[in-house]
Amino acid sequence: MQYSLGVDAGGTYTDSVIMRNTDGAVVSANKALTTYPDLLEGIKNSIDGLDQSYLEDINIVSVSTTLATNTILEKTGYPVGLILAGNYDVPANAGIDYYTVVQGGHDTKGLEVATLDEEKVEEFVNKVKDKVSAFAVSSYFSVRNPEHELRIKEIVNKLTDYPVVCGHELSQDLGAYERGITAYLNAQLIPIANRFIHSIISETDRRGIDARLLMLKCDGSVVGINEALEKPIESIFSGPAASLVGAAYLENLDSCAVIDLGGTSTDVSLMENGLPELTETGAVVGGWQTKVKALRMETSAMGGDSHVWVRNQKVNIGPRRVIPLCVAAEKYPGFIDKLKKARAPSKRQLTENIQPTKFYITTGEEPINLSDAEQRILERIEKSEPASLNEIFWESSASDMYLNILVQKRLVQAVGFTPTDALHVLGEYKDWNVNAANMGAAMLSKFTNNMGVDELCNHVKNEVTLNMSLNLMSYVLKGVDKEEIDKILRGDYLTHFKLDVPVVLIGAPSRVYQDKVTNIIDADVRLPSYAEVGNAVGALVGKGIKRIEIMLKSVYSKSKKRVVVFYPGGREEFPLYEDAFEYAKDLGHRMVMDYMTEAGLDKGNVKVDMHRNDITIHEGTGIPVETNLVFIGIGMPKAKKEIEH
């Protein structure tokens, strides 16, 4: 009998499940802490907790992760140099440290409008190559002609050995700046994706698992591991996509809303008639508008391990994730003593990074471009035990700015009080050290507006519940002001919201919140078996879906009519529309099938549909001036042993 292994790496936990191929039943499941910066240990621990007798019969391994989403939400991506060719207007508040705009670009016909300024490209690359880890490229109308993007890629490859991501490789949609942002974020994530995927490959090889490797994309479909390495941007929201697909599968529902309470974020998505609802314009994450086709989602940076901090007597939750005090006490033997002896800062010193319950530990990442002050602080933080604020700033006043920079550079990780700690204090979650959680709550409550320990922890729990409910209703009530929804949820009215579809909760602590969400919203709120590893289940039950868009466009030059076929990665010209159409039709099918082969999907089980939209001058007559063809292929993963036979 054959089995499949699903692995999901989240911000807090790495989950694993084994499913029987014949009937899709879960036969073994386990959770282990995600480990930073080396994910391999967490993956190893997660798989170690499974029933080892099944491993030799694994023939499919499929993975998902929230690491890409968390990286963007927490603003801890790797530095990237962005090169834009054309008439770009970059917003002043874009938040991009290293970018340049050079002459170049094409028009709607794919014809060059300006010669590429190669000298300026080389000047920029040489200027920033010691400050970045990758490059991203976008040129005007590269979806009509990518030659300038490809030439810039050649120049970067000549001057550096860094990865280069081109906008046309990720999206065929118009919107040059958004394609540039998509390429920029993709380049930020390459080191993280490489580390995650190679950890999976290393661990399966070490165990002798001979299986086809797949990864879930953010639209709920699976992709071959090679493409996942090249396009980590498509794993943005792959964790929430996994939770949506997994929740619907576990509850056997064609339509449902799903709330995924993770360590870093709370995510809401919808399955309707067996299909995830996708964004119309591309995924938005961390304020960035991308061109990535992803499921529509309502997300917020508030999860089980979000940092709970106090300033001006007000309790704040998030946006950054920290190691909970209760977890740190189990992980580091000397932490309880440090917590007892920690010296609290004054009320006027309090910031998100400077709190009575805040500690720091190094990640082991290699530091680059540190100032003297940053270097001094980093030297006082150990890797073996979290350092308290008084240990870090023993000879100077606390500096929020330098701590913030070190966190953003992924050089240190914070420990602090979280909703997970609050649940331990309330006795509703007891997986970790309750004593550490109680001590942290007592320390933090002294800086609130006369809140006792239980009142503080109930307040945190209520805020997480309200945030879950707000995300859910904001998703369903599309276009309704979020502040108005929040006002109704928090108000004392003689009415409340009602939902007509089941709501499925996914995530380790979700069982604690089931009744509270039901009290706020009138809905069929469900908690499936294996809810705590629902994402790992979702990683296994996604289908292979590939979408190819090809456009035929009539163009005139020197009184001569040509039909141009624009396809991902190139263009071809034909004198006759009929020849162009046949070429496009064959090319679309071939590109879908080539993708399915590369992804390890079963070609014999692939169904390819072609959707055609013609634009004519006079409706229903004459040759179209433009034809848009969309090819959608759907297939099921094929096991490696099936491929070899």
- In angstroms, the CA 256 to CA 500 distance is 9
pLDDT 10s digits, 303-338: 899 999 999 999 999 888 899 999 999 999 999 999
Q: Which amino acid is at 233?
A: I
Where exactly are the structural domains of the chain?
306-456, 543-644
- Per-residue confidence (pLDDT) for residue 642, from 0 to 100: 40
Separation of first and last alpha carbons in the chain: 17
Q: At residue 117, does pLDDT exceed 90?
A: yes
Buried b (16+ CB within 10 A) or exposed e, 366-392: eeeebeeebeebbeebeeebbbbbebb
The answer to whether 174 and 143 are in contact (CB under 8 A) is yes
Q: Which amino acid is at 203?
A: E
Strands 560-567 and 570-574: antiparallel
* Nearest by Cα to 476 from 485, 463, 466, 467: 485
CA distances from 159 to 75, 138, 579, 588 (A): 28, 18, 42, 35
Q: At residue 210, does pLDDT exceed 90?
A: no
pLDDT 10s digits, 424-446: 999 998 889 999 999 999 999 99
- Per-residue confidence (pLDDT) for residue 78, from 0 to 100: 74
pLDDT 10s digits, 74-97: 666 678 899 999 888 777 777 788
pLDDT 10s digits, 490-508: 988 888 899 999 999 988 7
Residues 6+ apart with CB under 8 A from 62: 4, 5, 6, 7, 213, 214, 215, 216, 222, 539, 540, 542, 637
Which runs of E-coded beta strand occur in 456-586? Answer: 503-506, 525-526, 543-557, 560-567, 570-574
The answer to whether 236 and 283 are in contact (CB under 8 A) is yes
- In angstroms, the CA 246 to CA 251 distance is 9
Residues 6+ apart with CB under 8 A from 98: 79, 80, 81, 82, 128, 131, 132
The answer to whether 11 and 69 are in contact (CB under 8 A) is no
Residues 6+ apart with CB under 8 A from 244: 220, 258, 260, 269, 270, 271, 276, 295, 538
Please indicate whether residue 555 or residue 171 has the higher confidence score (pLDDT): 555
pLDDT 10s digits, 23-50: 888 999 999 988 876 778 888 999 999 9
CA distances from 466 to 470, 476, 485, 495, 513 (A): 6, 15, 11, 16, 10
Q: At residue 405, does pLDDT exceed 90?
A: no
- In angstroms, the CA 235 to CA 197 distance is 11
Q: At residue 396, does pLDDT exceed 70?
A: no
For residue 502, count other CB atoms closer than 10 A to its CB.
17
- Per-residue confidence (pLDDT) for residue 236, from 0 to 100: 63
Buried b (16+ CB within 10 A) or exposed e, 575-600: eebeebbebbeebbbebbbebbbebb
What percent of the chain has pLDDT above 70? 88
- Per-residue confidence (pLDDT) for residue 643, from 0 to 100: 36
Report, as an integer, the average pLDDT of 262-283: 80
- In angstroms, the CA 637 to CA 542 distance is 9
Supply the DSSP symbol for 312. Answer: T
Please indicate whether residue 237 or residue 468 has the higher confidence score (pLDDT): 468
- In angstroms, the CA 234 to CA 223 distance is 10
Is residue 257 very low, low, confident or very high in pLDDT (cuts 50, 70, 90)?
A: very high
Report, as an integer, the average pLDDT of 138-161: 91
Q: At residue 298, does pLDDT exceed 60?
A: yes
Report, as an integer, the average pLDDT of 279-297: 66
- In angstroms, the CA 191 to CA 170 distance is 17
- Per-residue confidence (pLDDT) for residue 645, from 0 to 100: 32
Q: At residue 202, does pLDDT exceed 50?
A: yes
Is residue 641 very low, low, confident or very high in pLDDT (cuts 50, 70, 90)?
A: very low
Give the burial class of 418: count Cβ atoms within 10 A of its Cβ; 0-12 exposed, 13-18 middle, 19 or more buried: buried
- Per-residue confidence (pLDDT) for residue 293, from 0 to 100: 67
Q: What is the 3-state secondary structure (H, E, C) of 179-229?
A: HHHHHHHHHHHHHHHHHHHHHHHHHHHHCCCCCEEEEECCCCEEEEHHHHH
The answer for 368, left when phi > 0, alpha when psi is -120 to 50, beta otherwise, is beta
Q: At residue 67, does pLDDT exceed 90?
A: no
Is residue 522 very low, low, confident or very high in pLDDT (cuts 50, 70, 90)?
A: very high
Rounded (5°) CA angle 209-20-512: 105
Omega into 528 within 30° of 0, i.e. cis? no
The answer to whether 308 and 315 are in contact (CB under 8 A) is yes
The answer for 465, left when phi > 0, alpha when psi is -120 to 50, beta otherwise, is alpha
The two tokens of residue 93 are 């508040």
